[in-house]
Amino acid sequence: MKTNSVYSFLSENSYLMPLGIFVLTLLMLGLTLFPADFLGKSKIWSYDKLGHMALFGSWTYILGLYHHFNWKATTNLWVIFFIGVGFGLLIEILQYTLPLNRHGDFADLAFDALGCLIAVGALHKTISSK
């Protein structure tokens, strides 16, 4: 499927994006707030920084596209970026303060922000090419 056809499909069916945002939000909360031993001892967790970057980038990208398709105002990409980073910060604060056998990690927040930044760059390219 070409990029243009994906863009067209999403613009015509933007009602699907809140579902995507909701599912990604639940996945992110589950992966970051369940106790660490609940997730098991898989080798995949050694790549958690890449997971942070991919999940927060995807979430931010979908949020930005949803705004672009549903509001007449120009999408302020920096606001979208800071919403994504704010969500990451909230999760790190929750990990630090709640008794979940988890700990807040500045490196996780940095990779959340990097994913959001990459998403904003992709959004800029997507939106400006239309």
Give the domain range for residue 37.
Answer: 3-128
Q: What is the DSSP string of 26-94?
A: HHHHHHHHS-GGGG---GGGGGHHHHHHHHHHHHHHHHHHHHHHH-SSPP-HHHHHHHHHHHHHHHHHH
Whole-number pLDDT of residue 2: 55
Prediction pTM value: 0.87
Q: How far apart are CA 101 and CA 91, in angstroms?
A: 14
pLDDT score, position 3: 58
> Mind listing the pLDDT tens digit of every residue in the chain (130 residues)?
455 788 888 889 989 999 999 999 999 999 888 876 665 666 555 668 899 999 999 999 999 999 999 987 888 999 999 999 999 999 999 999 988 888 889 999 999 999 999 999 999 999 888 6
Distance in angstroms (rounded) separating the CA atoms of residues 64 and 69: 9
Report d(CA 59, CA 21) in Å as an integer: 6
Number of domains the chain contains: 1
Q: What is the pLDDT of residue 46?
A: 60
